[in-house]
Copies of this chain bind each other. A is one copy, B any other.
């Protein structure tokens, strides 16, 4: 239904691997997934998709505006569904939990910082690295 429209409008054929990757993000157990994460989840559910294909599809989806890519501390990048709402991230250094937030003031001051220095802001990445205080953090207690 909706997935097809998304793919079509992006000029992408509706293939099995692409539909599976997309529904993984839409089923939404975890919002932020790396290529490896996606690959493993598909394998686990009996769907055989090559790792190279996962990488390709993720990048195509990003270019099509279906996904957003982030580079949290560490080497591998993660993707999340693009729901139109820009937000930034707080990442727990101990358990890796990711919390999203949006601060209009921060956004505004960034625009100003760029403009004041003769830049045309294109986008930005803001990651806050912190430690959970909550008991949920699996590296606490």
Contacts and interface: CB of A to CB of B under 8 A. Distances in A.
Interface size range of chain A in the complex: 20 to 34
A51 to B, nearest CB: 19
A76 to B, nearest CB: 12
A132 interface: yes
B120 A129 contact: no
Contacts of A129: 121-125
Interface stretch (A7-15, A17-25, A26-34, A107-115): A107-115
A134 interface: yes
Contacts of A122: 93, 129-131
A92 B131 CA distance: 32
